[in-house]
Amino acid sequence: MSKRNSKKNPKVSLKTPKVREEVSPGHLKRIIAVSEARTREIEESRVVYPDPDLFDSLDLSGVKALGFTDKVEWDPDDLDILFARRRSRKSRGKQRGGSQSQGGKKGLPDPKVVAAKVYDIIKNFKVVGNDGNVVMGTWNMEFLDASKAKYFLETYKHIVPRFHIIGCTEITLDGLQVIANALGYKAYASVENTRSQAVGFLVHPRLKVKGNPISYDEIANVQGIPNLRPAYRLDVEDTATGDEYAAVVVHMKSMRGGPASTAPVRRQQAKKLVEVLGEDFVGFICGDWNSHLDNPSVTDNDPLKQAGFKLVGPKDKTPTHIMKSRLDGFFVMNFGKVGRLQVFNFWRELGRDLSDHGTVRCQKRVCGGVGNDSTCGTVDDPSGPYSDSPSDPVEVDTSTE
């Protein structure tokens, strides 16, 4: 009989990390106070965008009367550099245009310049149609209302047609409707909170919305914290393939008040979302999660992941927010192959002139029938376009063709 090894084995902890389920009374009081202060800040910094054709004729007093700090003038040499695509990677992160503080007032940019810059970034991505993969997007549009939608309409005309469906946050229905009417899309939105923040969708005609939209208002009701947003659901049919699934958009509690202190709020929201969607959910959830999606210690403990939802691009660390955080993305369940994650960080060129969040894009693979996609035969390749390889480039590179 052989001798047992007398060396003690290292202890292995079988306990899972303790996760707080509710905000403590002390933290809750502070979070509510911070939220109320943020609401006041938003009201004080609210702006009204003019008719875009009036930009050239507006003087400084006219701009300030609309709530802006100044009128942003652009150096023609700056545009030459951008359009020639000769900027170095080092200079790529420099923000040009109106200087703006996070959450404060900002300068009024020339809408023609914004549209030209955005088009130069996105022009190589084809406009979607009634065949091919379903292209999904999510975008925090930073206080989109009707005046902003009209002012930047030429810009939105470049962006939106490259998606079949976009989950939109920080919007109003009136704002989405302006864009939808101009492009032949349909707009849907939840009820706004007191900050004029709703969540909703822009939907291409290929996707038919079935039944009535559903607003999960319980997601906005957690421990009495004001101005949370509901989750909002559409049930859609892909008319090219007959596939039916749900699309849900969320805008979870912000990290104002502290990431750790506010995390239990987002956890409660996620648990409620899991409960209302059920275990047989088929579809995707997108939006502004206000969580660091590239941090496994955050996502591994998320109720969505524990319930079987999969984060698209779990290892990717591309920021989607001007503060260099990955806050926006997609969770999917029973949804087939989803991939080709891409991020359009327009804020790298424009600062917050358009939004402080990037537009995130991914695709649902379609095989067979009218919606056949030619990449179907290669999707099982672990290095292919539907992989989760962190070595695959995600952010759209504006410095090269």
The pLDDT profile of the chain, 401 residues, written as one tens digit per residue, is 444 443 444 443 334 445 677 888 889 999 999 999 999 999 999 999 999 999 999 999 999 999 999 998 776 555 554 444 333 333 333 334 443 444 457 899 999 999 999 999 999 999 999 988 999 999 999 999 999 999 999 999 999 999 999 999 999 999 999 999 999 999 999 999 999 999 999 999 999 999 999 999 999 999 999 999 999 999 999 999 999 999 999 999 999 999 999 999 999 999 999 999 999 999 999 999 999 999 988 887 889 999 999 999 988 899 999 999 999 999 999 998 888 899 999 999 999 999 999 999 999 988 755 555 555 544 444 444 555 555 565 777 654 43
pTM above 0.75, yes or no: yes
Confirm if 339 and 387 have CB atoms less than 8 A apart. yes
What span, in angstroms and rounded, lies between the C-alpha atoms of 40 and 46? 10
Which one-letter amino acid corresponds to residue 162?
R
Compute φ and ψ for 91, nearest 5 degrees.
-80, -10
**What is d(CA 270, CA 304) in angstroms, rounded to the nearest whole number?**
6
**Residue 104 burial (C-beta neighbours within 10 Å; 0-12, 13-18, 19+):** exposed
Residue with tokens 């900050």: 195
**Two structure tokens written together for 285:** 């959830």
Task: Name beta bridge partners: 284.
Answer: 247, 332
Q: Residue 125 and residue 159: Cα distance in Å, rounded?
A: 10
